[in-house]
Structure 1
Amino acid sequence: MEVLKMISINVNDIFDKMIGNENEIIIKRENDADDLILITAKKYNEILEELKRLKYWEEIDKRIENVKAGKGQFHELIEVDDV
């Protein structure tokens, strides 16, 4: 028969440690389950913004590689007279 361990955590203690803390809090698990990470909403939003920037630049790099591989289309810009 498997014995379950019960762990009691005061959530307020965790929140108190998070206030003013720019670092993440890692909750290690004793079993094979993944560890948990707590971060502030500010840090989470910063991570999301950085991911958006990286995806943007990855798309630009992909387009550059396509052009280098001869898969791009080039168009000339022309001026038209005002009507």
Structure 2
Amino acid sequence: MVDYVFDRPTGAQEQEIGGVMVTLAALCNAIELSMDDAGEKELARNWERIEAIRRKQASKPAGSPLPQRVESRHHASVFE
């Protein structure tokens, strides 16, 4: 699966993000939830605990299956 994903051409970031947003908006509409309200609540919640979030990120071990920056064999970074 990893090879399949990383062997594909790189998508345009704005278009990829837009596609995710359209999918999320459709889900929110289907379950009658406000995407904007949910996002605002989560941003407020995270700003209240920003130091705890930073500590957790700093404590993640290198080489772990936990989310982290990963160098791919085809691209300098998956975050480019």
* TM-based fold match above 0.5: no
Higher helix share: 2
Bigger Rg, which one: 1
Greater share of strand residues, 1 or 2?
1
Higher relative CO (Cα under 8 Å, sequence separation at least 6) belongs to 2
